[in-house]
Amino acid sequence: MSSEKMHKQDAIDLSHHLSVRGRSYERSPLKALIARYDDRPGLIKLFSGAPHEDYFPITSVDVHALPYDNFSATPASLSNSVSWFKRFFGLAPAQPKPITFTINHDPAPGDNGLNLTKALQYNPVRGLDYVAATINDFAARAFQPAYADFKTLLHTGNTDGWSRVLQILAEPGDTIIGEEWIYASALTAGAPANLKFISIEMDDEGLLPEKLRERLAGWDESVKGKRPHLMYTVPVGQNPSGRTMGLKRKQEVYDVCAEFDIIILEDDPYYFLQAGLYKPKDVRARTATSGANQTDEEWLASLAPSFLRVDTQGRVIRIDTVSKFLAPGLRLGWFTTSPLFAERLERVGEVATQAPNGLGTAVVGGLLREWTQDGFIRWLRGVRALYTVRRDYFVDALYDTFDVERSVVTEKTDGRDVCVAYAKQNGMREKGVRRPLFEFIPPTSGLFIWLKVAFPPYLRHRYHNSKESLEMLFWTSLADNGVVFSPGNFFSYVGKGAEDVPDFNAEGHYRISFSHVSPADARKTAQILDATLREFFAA
Amino acid sequence: MSSEKMHKQDAIDLSHHLSVRGRSYERSPLKALIARYDDRPGLIKLFSGAPHEDYFPITSVDVHALPYDNFSATPASLSNSVSWFKRFFGLAPAQPKPITFTINHDPAPGDNGLNLTKALQYNPVRGLDYVAATINDFAARAFQPAYADFKTLLHTGNTDGWSRVLQILAEPGDTIIGEEWIYASALTAGAPANLKFISIEMDDEGLLPEKLRERLAGWDESVKGKRPHLMYTVPVGQNPSGRTMGLKRKQEVYDVCAEFDIIILEDDPYYFLQAGLYKPKDVRARTATSGANQTDEEWLASLAPSFLRVDTQGRVIRIDTVSKFLAPGLRLGWFTTSPLFAERLERVGEVATQAPNGLGTAVVGGLLREWTQDGFIRWLRGVRALYTVRRDYFVDALYDTFDVERSVVTEKTDGRDVCVAYAKQNGMREKGVRRPLFEFIPPTSGLFIWLKVAFPPYLRHRYHNSKESLEMLFWTSLADNGVVFSPGNFFSYVGKGAEDVPDFNAEGHYRISFSHVSPADARKTAQILDATLREFFAA
């Protein structure tokens, strides 16, 4: 690692990207003073308004947790195991072998600073040292940034992460580069600064670099204002479209960003939920699951890499969160980025929430310590396997309910086939040519299936007086029939100056989250979808 | 309460105070959708990207905590009790009777929603219902707002609170009204938006309403830009000056703010640390401590009230934090304000940290439930008594080391005397007239003692070539001699357009926090102060 590091360059100076606001954050003089004197022995320190630790009412916390290997590492062994299957759906009592650790009030040797005296006190924005250091090691190992002096910094989840990035990089009214479909809450976060978003076309692997180049090269500042300098991307299990970008594509996109001096915000909550290709039930039954014999290290290396892996300049700000693999309520995540951006983002934290909640951070620290870092990676693999099973049986339900035809678009899709769903031929044969009901690409990562429903002209004609788009009308029909998806228009910038507004009367898009659905409800969902499509499309 | 509430009016419309940014926060459409459908029975809800609760690694948490009556309610019984005194300083093993409660993974009847399935999941910005409701009841009881439709909203501490308020109310470059001395971190929070601060003169009770009126009435917008419309105040145990504002003064200040349409941000972390008047050791020895026979309810009613008590219009945004009476690391606090401001502040939270950390919130919820609300008030009283003892022995140390003369300025100071400290007459008698070394007002609330040192002209002459002010030179001498205070210039706006910059060569101010100092270190501090003053002032 260190010899490799010697060959990497440090981040280049990208400070010209900072907004007026971003430049204006100041270090708190009190905090600077504390840093200057905090370690002098014998000094009587009366500068801090910190309360006395002996008056904290919580004296100790015993944490009971699952072992890191609580879940099978591969979906194969999961789905072949009847006892596992029962446990997975709560049909039999779970039989975890819980681990237990205690966060004590008083500091003790070897507690790694994970005590309540420390954790419940004011802490610097960086958070508890042990957790910050463990996360830093893990990020280095998992993401392997291509420059030497990257930093990590804890935050309180990726919403906070994106919001802080906007505070330091975006001027009011700026235009942000987004993917064809953009995570709804990322759009909402742009509202306070009246940010506009443009959408760059995607294929089955995500954002298209040539489309990005085209858009940037053709940008006329005299008409459209300042050319965008910040891109928001969810490159793995894209929210909402479920696409995942491989190394080669990332390199191509990165090169365009370097050419046009774009900062890349990589929002990557589903990174460790890379499920791999969907194989229909019958195929799964007769083939071995790839990765069944992988070591944890091999598994980690097999994942589509982070943008950091191609970032030789420090122009990527990556945000991770523990939400999808530990728990969202912990409100904990981290930035991996250049020293420049890390410092500015730390300053933003100082005047907002400060350090992440100390109790939650200490509990995460205890968990990581008990598990060890290798155990943590094994845990990630288990969670990934669980969601892979969920992905599989949800897509199975679509296959079972509809006639699904896989159309391999090109060689390069590598199996990320577009699936076209038709009504089953069950006596209700439609007149004339067989019409596709919807399309989807089985996701290789993340929690979402993204359906595209094409509305034929006669429907557009029938509802042309409706205030609602066909997308929302169909969404309402689905809700009335008992299932609620997220409608596609949530994931499209439709505000002031919007340039890329889809025609929601031509196509409807629906994001289905499969994270909570049972196999029975998955089948029921597919059936409701089927019935509602027939109803809605009835000529 | 309800009949009283019927006579109160609702908040008036103050929406013209919202900044461009403050108006622009949007509700996340996903969150709005969730609210719309979340309670429909039987509906299959596949719109949320929430992870599955069965995969949260933490299965339960046992919390061990102090009983609400762990500490004596009055400083009198504290300081008269030898066994208590030993325990207070760790000379004898503490004998708490800990309470224990468990936060389980699965929801159960009667758990008030304080389970990990809920607490570790995504939650609305309002946080866990039980905690939000308990805090709301408590705020109503403790602060008694003078209008009917006030709201409370959890935040992640008062730094977050103030920062959110600036996001919704301040335009870049605005001028904020501050007190004569302003909490350093409140100034730092203004930097990103390039806010200016003006300082309104204080007496021993805090901000002077006639000075505020004068300043606002004389504001020439053609010269100084928009007249300020937001005031930042720490009215109890003011940070740094330690002053506390009573009801009458608050009414007078409020009336000026209503007249000039000012929003009052009441940052009140020390509200429940109202220690009462300092009485020198000998006086304490021969008089009963007031309040020894008070009930908890009487104690609560005896506190200097919040600005909310006089707020008939909803122009106060009050921020509370659990930092000083539970623990800062919990990163939990709350707003009490009008529905308009509460709604905007909730939106700010949605695109930042979202709900406060669920684990920490659940633990606070469990504690409040175990203690009951009456017990919680009793706990507050105990913490207040502990800091009162600390205040007393620190001021005692100053009395013991220096000749302190109390100068009762006027009748109305009610004992908040200015204390003038002279060198003890111990053979090192100075030549000529006896010169005061420093002044202070023993604080009646909070954690700080604020010293004023007047530098005589010969010192100004001696150091006129120094780059550092006399205030910082003396501060450095103190640090070199072994004690670090916070220097006064941290608490003064000295940035662009500053109008009220004190002459740090004429007077030096020093904030002493007594929250952590032992009696021995308090004496040592006083002695170092004495020696450093003699050294520094030596002719």
Name the residue in chain A with its Cα closest to that of B101.
Answer: A61
| Chain A residues touching B46 at Cβ < 8 A | 483-485, 512-514, 516-517, 525
| Chain B residues touching A30 at Cβ < 8 A | 184-185, 486, 490
Contact A51 B515 (CB under 8 A): yes
- What whole-number distance in Å separates Cα of residue B205 and Cα of residue B247? 11
CATH classification of the domain holding B491: 3.90.1150.10
Helix or strand run (H / E) with residue A177? strand A175-179
Which of B30, B184, B515 has its CB closest to that of A184? Answer: B30
Q: Is residue A97 part of a domain?
A: no
A334 and A441, same domain (yes or no): no
Determine the distance in angstroms separating the CA of B512 from the nearest CA of chain A, rounded to an integer.
5
Contact A353 B156 (CB under 8 A): yes
- Quick one: which of B254, B246, B253 has its CA closest to B274? B246
Name the residue in chain B with its Cα closest to that of A59.
Answer: B65
A253 and A173, same domain (yes or no): yes
Contacts of residue B4, Cβ cutoff 8 Å, sequence gap at least 6 = none
Per DSSP, the three-state class of B225 is coil
Determine the distance in angstroms separating the CA of B461 from the nearest CA of chain A, rounded to an integer.
28
For every one of its 539 residues, what pLDDT tens digit does chain A have, with 9 covering 90 and above?
A: 445 556 899 999 999 999 999 999 998 776 677 677 777 888 999 998 999 999 999 999 999 999 999 999 988 666 555 555 555 665 544 555 789 999 999 999 999 999 999 999 999 999 999 999 999 999 999 999 999 999 999 999 999 999 999 999 999 999 999 999 999 999 999 999 999 999 999 999 999 999 999 999 999 999 999 999 999 999 999 999 999 999 999 999 999 999 999 999 999 999 999 999 999 998 888 877 666 788 999 999 999 999 999 999 999 999 999 999 999 999 999 999 999 999 999 999 999 989 999 999 999 999 999 999 999 999 999 999 999 999 999 999 999 999 999 876 555 555 578 899 999 976 555 555 688 999 999 999 999 999 999 999 999 999 989 999 999 999 999 999 999 999 999 999 999 999 999 999 999 999 999 999 999 999 999 999 999 999 999 86
Instruction: Report the largest interatomic distance among the alpha carbons of chain A, rounded to a whole angstrom.
Output: 90
Residue B143: Cβ-neighbour burial (10 angstroms; 0-12, 13-18, 19+)? buried
- What whole-number distance in Å separates Cα of residue B242 and Cα of residue B273? 11
CA distances from B318 to B151, B154, B161 (A): 11, 12, 9
- What whole-number distance in Å separates Cα of residue B320 and Cα of residue B139? 9
Q: Is residue A288 part of a domain?
A: no
Contact A43 B479 (CB under 8 A): yes
Determine the distance in angstroms separating the CA of B446 from the nearest CA of chain A, rounded to an integer.
9
**Pick among A28, A58, A106 to test the B interface (most B CBs inside 10 A):** A58
A343 and A415, same domain (yes or no): no
For every one of its 539 residues, what pLDDT tens digit does chain B have, with 9 covering 90 and above?
A: 445 556 899 999 999 999 999 999 998 776 677 677 777 888 999 998 999 999 999 999 999 999 999 999 988 666 555 555 555 665 544 555 789 999 999 999 999 999 999 999 999 999 999 999 999 999 999 999 999 999 999 999 999 999 999 999 999 999 999 999 999 999 999 999 999 999 999 999 999 999 999 999 999 999 999 999 999 999 999 999 999 999 999 999 999 999 999 999 999 999 999 999 999 998 888 876 666 788 999 999 999 999 999 999 999 999 999 999 999 999 999 999 999 999 999 999 999 989 999 999 999 999 999 999 999 999 999 999 999 999 999 999 999 999 999 876 555 555 578 899 999 976 555 555 688 999 999 999 999 999 999 999 999 999 989 999 999 999 999 999 999 999 999 999 999 999 999 999 999 999 999 999 999 999 999 999 999 999 999 86
- For residue A96, what pLDDT is reported? 52
Q: Is residue A472 part of a domain?
A: yes
- For residue B516, what pLDDT is reported? 94
Q: Is residue B497 part of a domain?
A: yes
Contact A328 B121 (CB under 8 A): yes
| Chain A residues touching B185 at Cβ < 8 A | 28, 30, 350-351
CA distances from B491 to B228, B267, B438 (A): 19, 15, 18
Per DSSP, the three-state class of A432 is coil
Contact A120 B351 (CB under 8 A): no
Contact A379 B324 (CB under 8 A): no
Q: What number of residues does chain B have?
A: 539
Name the residue in chain A with its Cα closest to that of B59.
Answer: A65
Q: Is residue B103 part of a domain?
A: no
Contact B58 A65 (CB under 8 A): yes
Contact B189 A351 (CB under 8 A): yes
Three-point CA angle B263, B265, B270, nearest 5° = 155
Query: What DSSP designation does B108 have?
Result: -
CA distances from A140 to A147, A167, A293, A297 (A): 11, 26, 25, 14
Name the residue in chain A with its Cα closest to that of B156.
Answer: A353
> What's the domain count of chain B?
1
Determine the distance in angstroms separating the CA of A440 from the nearest CA of chain B, rounded to an integer.
16
Contact B328 A51 (CB under 8 A): yes
| Chain B residues touching A119 at Cβ < 8 A | 329
Residue by residue, DSSP assigns B276-288 as: -----HHHHHHSP
| Pairs across A and B, CB distance < 8 A | 362
| Chain A residues touching B45 at Cβ < 8 A | 484, 516
User: Dihedrals φ, ψ of B409, to 5°?
Assistant: -70, -55
Determine the distance in angstroms separating the CA of A8 from the nearest CA of chain B, rounded to an integer.
34
Name the CA radius of gyration of chain B, rounded: 25
- For residue A92, what pLDDT is reported? 47
Q: Give per-residue burial for B444-469: e unless 16+ CB within 10 Å, then b.
A: bbbbbbbbbbebeeebeeebeeeeeb
Q: Is residue B435 part of a domain?
A: yes
Contact B58 A60 (CB under 8 A): no
Q: Is residue A329 part of a domain?
A: yes
- What whole-number distance in Å separates Cα of residue A266 and Cα of residue A142? 15
Residue B411 structural domain: 389-537
CATH classification of the domain holding A330: 3.40.640.10
Which of B48, B96, B485 has its CB closest to that of A59? Answer: B96
| Chain A residues touching B28 at Cβ < 8 A | 184-185, 188
A260 and A167, same domain (yes or no): yes
- Quick one: which of B447, B502, B510 has its CA closest to B476? B510
Which of A47, A192, A484 has its CB closest to that of B24? Answer: A192
Name the residue in chain A with its Cα closest to that of B27.
Answer: A188
Amino acid letter, A230: L
Contact B58 A327 (CB under 8 A): yes
A418 and A460, same domain (yes or no): yes
- Quick one: which of A166, A21, A169 has its CA closest to B25? A166
A324 and A447, same domain (yes or no): no
Determine the distance in angstroms separating the CA of B487 from the nearest CA of chain A, rounded to an integer.
9
Upper half-sphere CA count for residue A13 (Cβ side, 13 Å) = 2
Q: Is residue B503 part of a domain?
A: yes
